[in-house]
Amino acid sequence: MQYFVLADVHGCLHTLRELLADWRPAEEVLVQLGDLVDRGNYSPETVELCCQLSRDFPDRTVFLQGNHDWAMAEHVGPSGPYRAWLGWGGRATLEQYRRHPTLLAAHAAWLGRRPLFYETEHLLFSHAGFADVPSPTDPTNGEGVLWRRGPLQNLGKLQVVGHTPTDDNEPYFDVAANAIYLDTGAAMGGHLTGLRLSETGEILEVVAVATYLTDI
């Protein structure tokens, strides 16, 4: 089984739709590395599209949780409000949900249920990556898999992460950590990138879609 991996979408709906045209569900698992919401103009529509894909292709899709997704789930859910989120994307996202008020609670719950990582024999996918730190899967850990900005740990398998935008809007391979960074700046006018991988982690193809101006 091959994998088609993409990272931070951040509400860039039209860009995402174009990239998904290159996904081959008959032979590939779609892995999305989190951060579906905030920054772009279409967070509700983006989450709804991904919810539908998860229903239509339950065995061919993996949607992971990003820190922005977690924050929205915290804010809207029973432990909210999470007011910090309002200052780094949440306020605009909630305004977008005024167009779709019936979707907000369901989307927040769905985002809150997303797994923090997905692992195979040769590959490890997460939003920000695993480092040699205590409790890396604690979502409140600023050095954990939702938030890490520093170097990652070489775990003997390929880590594929988003979260930290690359300098040139191209995927970046960290040799020392055996990690690929795939946030290529879609919400900042860069690209949304799809990485086609073999089951052993060989890069088969890189597909880049320039961000639609209407998305940002």
Structure confidence by residue, pLDDT tens digits, 86-120: 999 999 999 999 999 999 999 999 999 999 999 99
pLDDT at 177: 98
Mean pLDDT of 138-147: 97
* 3 state SS of 159: strand
pLDDT at 38: 98
Domain 2-64+117-210: what homologous superfamily? Answer: Metallo-dependent phosphatases (3.60.21.10)
* Sheet with 61-63, side-by-side order of all strands: 61-63, 28-32, 2-6, 191-197, 203-210
- Domain range list for the chain: 2-64+117-210
- Proportion of the chain above pLDDT 90, given as a percent: 100
Q: Which H helix or E strand runs over 30?
A: strand 28-32
Are 187 and 211 within 8 A, CB to CB? yes
Mean pLDDT of 29-58: 98
Q: CB burial class (10 A; 0-12, 13-18, 19+) of residue 64?
A: buried
Neighbours of 104 (CB within 10 A): 18
pLDDT at 164: 98
What is this structure's pTM? 0.97
